[in-house]
Amino acid sequence: MNPVYHQAKFINSSPHLKDTPEDQGREVAFAGRSNAGKSSAINALTRQNALARISKTPGRTQLLNFFEINAGQRFVDLPGYGYAKVPVAVKKQWHELMETYLTQRKSLCAIILVMDVRHPLTDFDWQMVEWCRHTGLPLHILLTKADKLAYGAAKNTLLQVQKELRDINFPLTIQLFSALKKTGIDEVHHALDLLFNPVEPAGMESEEDDG
């Protein structure tokens, strides 16, 4: 457990990249299909029951929601994708907002991709995985609602998803999670610690010593 994540504070919501926190420091973005369990995961990780809103109305304005963890360290809750019945205009708005955020946000340092363990690797999930591979953005995957499956079945899904993703040849990490049972939280905190405080590659600082 890392209590630093419990001090998360809501900063603001915005339907575009204007009016967002200054693009400095490091920002970890939570992405996922609608209803995958993204808000519940953020609430469980921050130990705050109502930080990220749960069960939003389909079709409402899509927002980027920003949370401060520490000075210069933020979470952003990206709008969920996948309500079958949303109007085309909302889908278009979602695409534009995601594309703008993912391509322009300089402080974006990693994606946490939340998937329902019972429905992993949807088209949307593959798009995010491909985006991370294309840009080299670190990716950590949560297979959430693990409590909905027996332990053996959840573990099998984990192995299966790991196997499918191994072929794309990109170093991502993946784990089981349950916001309901609060399992997997330490593992996510550990992944976040590394994403927020990356270790410089060895040898970076040794150039001056060589001469």
Q: Which segment (13-21, 120-128, 141-149, 161-169) binds ligand GDP by CB under 6 A?
A: 141-149
54 makes contact with ligand GDP (CB under 6 A) = yes
Pair of tokens at residue 76? 């952003």
Distance CA 207, CA 203 (A): 7
DSSP labels for 87-133? -HHHHHHHHHHHHHHHHH-TTEEEEEEEEETTS-S-HHHHHHHHHHH
Question: Quick one: which H or E segment has residue 207?
Answer: helix 207-210
Nearer to ligand GDP, 121 or 170 (CB): 121
157 makes contact with ligand GDP (CB under 6 A) = no
Residue length of the chain: 211
Q: Judged by CB under 6 A, which of 2, 13, 14, 35 binds ligand GDP?
A: 35
144 makes contact with ligand GDP (CB under 6 A) = yes
Please, are residues 118 and 149 in contact by the beta-carbon 8 Å criterion?
Answer: yes
38 makes contact with ligand GDP (CB under 6 A) = yes
Q: Judged by CB under 6 A, which of 112, 165, 172, 179 binds ligand GDP?
A: 179
Pair of tokens at residue 30? 């939570």
195 makes contact with ligand GDP (CB under 6 A) = no
Q: Judged by CB under 6 A, which of 34, 122, 162, 173 binds ligand GDP?
A: 34
Nearer to ligand GDP, 32 or 120 (CB): 32
